[in-house]
Amino acid sequence: MKTTKIIATGILAMGLATANLYALDTNERLELLESAMIEQATTPAQKSAVSEYLANIAKEKVEMAQALRDRAGSTRGGKALSQMNEKKELLRRAEALEKEAKKYQTVSMDLNQGSMRVAQN
């Protein structure tokens, strides 16, 4: 019985450890796909579509950051120290999302301007 519990705990721990690595790998894959989309966009229509996609992602990230800021501003029951730590973490995550949103907006605007230049030529 004890051996079964130890084996089950070991399998659970391995699963949790690899799940976090898989999440990082998924984010890297998404970044690679986005960069490939940007590089492969050659026609004005393609550049416009990718630009719109990136602008939508930026908008979603700004909205998520605002939701985190709203959540950080609300008060909940609990100890003051844990509330303060949670508020700091939520604000840190909101700032990170806003930085990512700015990157997406910048790339989106660059692509949009590039598609206009190609269309004018």
119 vs 65, which has greater pLDDT?
A: 65
Q: 106: domain range?
A: 41-119
Residue 69: inside a domain = yes
Residue 36: inside a domain = no
pLDDT one-digit tens code per residue, 54-84: 899 999 999 999 999 999 888 777 788 888 8
Residue 107: inside a domain = yes
Residue 9: inside a domain = no
- What's residue 79's pLDDT? 83
**pLDDT range class, residue 121, cuts 50, 70, 90:** very low
The domain tally of the chain equals: 1
Residue 18: inside a domain = no
Longest dimension (CA), the chain: 76
Spell out the residues 6+ positions from residue 97 whose beta carbon is closer than 8 angstroms to its own. Answer: 61, 62, 64, 65, 68
Given a contact cutoff of 8 angstroms between Cβ atoms, the answer to whether 55 and 102 are in contact is no
- What's residue 4's pLDDT? 61
Residue 6: inside a domain = no
Residue 50: inside a domain = yes
pLDDT one-digit tens code per residue, 2-43: 666 566 555 555 555 555 555 557 778 888 888 888 888 888
**pLDDT range class, residue 111, cuts 50, 70, 90:** confident
Query: Does the pLDDT of residue 1 top 80, yes or no?
Result: no
